[in-house]
Amino acid sequence: MATRKLPYFCVEPTDGELVDLALDYIVEAQTGSVSGLVPEGQRYQLRLITFPDRQAFLDANPECCEVFTRQAVAEHISPAQRDRSNYSGSVRIRATYKVRTNSNQEFYPHNTYTNTRVVHVDKCRQIINL
């Protein structure tokens, strides 16, 4: 069984590299559907038009991405966890998708769906879960 060799050390990615890595991850992980509940308790299911690549995503969402540090109280990562995960940075990505099919137009009357995700990256340019 082959083992994966990790580099002796990794250099932290630049802000631009963090955004590129996060965007590639988001575009690859698109599911094309989402469901939710409205306050009245009704469930809706949306089929979304996904983006074929990073450039199409950026064309539709030019102000999508923000590199940030985890200093806010609600977004704090302990120093021990930073060290353990080899943490480098986080990118907040806000994306708006066009809705292809809406299972419950009465309770979800919008033609677009917007969500925000945070992608964390380590110093070796790998996506990590925190």
Instruction: Give the CA distances from residue 33 to residues 48, 58, 66, in Å, rounded to whole numbers and listed in that order.
Output: 5, 20, 24
Residue 24 near residue 51 (C-beta atoms within 8 A): no
Instruction: Give the tens place of pLDDT for each residue, 65-95.
Output: 998 865 554 566 677 776 777 888 889 999 9
Beta bridge partners of 119: 91
Closest CA to 118 of 25, 31, 36: 25
Tell whether the model's pLDDT for residue 109 goes beyond 50: yes
pLDDT at 20: 95
DSSP H helices in the chain: 15-28, 54-60, 79-85
Nearest to 93 by CA among 75, 129, 120: 120
**What's the chain's average pLDDT?**
85
Q: Cα dihedral angle (22, 56, 97, 87), rounded to 10 degrees?
A: 0
Q: How confident is residue 12, by pLDDT bands cut at 50, 70 and 90?
A: confident
The Cα–Cα gap between 111 and 102 comes to 8
Q: How far is residue 77's CA from residue 28's CA, in Å, rounded to a whole number?
A: 26
Gyration radius from the chain CA atoms: 18
